[in-house]
Structure 1
Amino acid sequence: MTITRNGIPDIVPIRVYENGWPTGPGRSEQRQAAVLDTVARKVAALVGELNIDGYSLFALRDADINAEGLFPHFGLLHGDYTPKCAFRTYRDLIDELHVGDGPSGRRD
């Protein structure tokens, strides 16, 4: 995975928004968690080099549990708010990669 600034001046911060990997037929929850782990670690490793100042996921919760297709299934939680495998991965990444002052605010 290569991330570059493509001519954007270094002074301009980059924010990675609406990132994610949906679950569904042929797309397991375990794979969603693995992709999230890989991407978040890569973004975190490039924070200083690329002036990245934000990262967010596409969706916390699946939009529609009965819908077909991939787009309604990007969430880290199922439509009924039960966690997918990636939810724990995301919480662990926040604890591990948190940047800034003070604790991450995580509660178990």
Structure 2
Amino acid sequence: MTAKTDEGALGYEQARDELIEVVRRLEAGGTTLEESLALWERGEELAKVCRRWLDGARARLDAALSGRDAAEGGDAGAKATNGSNDSDGSDDEVEDRGGRAL
């Protein structure tokens, strides 16, 4: 196990790989209670690092997607309804003048 490092310096893959090793060692057993507690604590730290990286990635993806939608003029809903021009975006059937569905 690596000594406690600056969590900000760990990349996602590095933290994930070390976390996998911590879990492997805990599952294998054969460690003292003190060693197991230290491994558990390190695993918790590494899991937090991974979660921060994943949350940051999700935020970047969400920002990129919302930026793309804004650049397209918000037409995503109209495109999804096969070009329907209804102001409410519903899939109401179009009727002819006699009230029959087309």
Q: Which has the higher strand share?
A: 1
User: TM-score, normalising length from structure 2?
Assistant: 0.30
User: TM-score, normalising length from structure 1?
Assistant: 0.29
Q: Which has the higher helix share?
A: 2
Asked which structure has the greater RCO (Cα within 8 Å, sep 6+), the reply is: 1
**Structure with bigger gyration radius:** 2
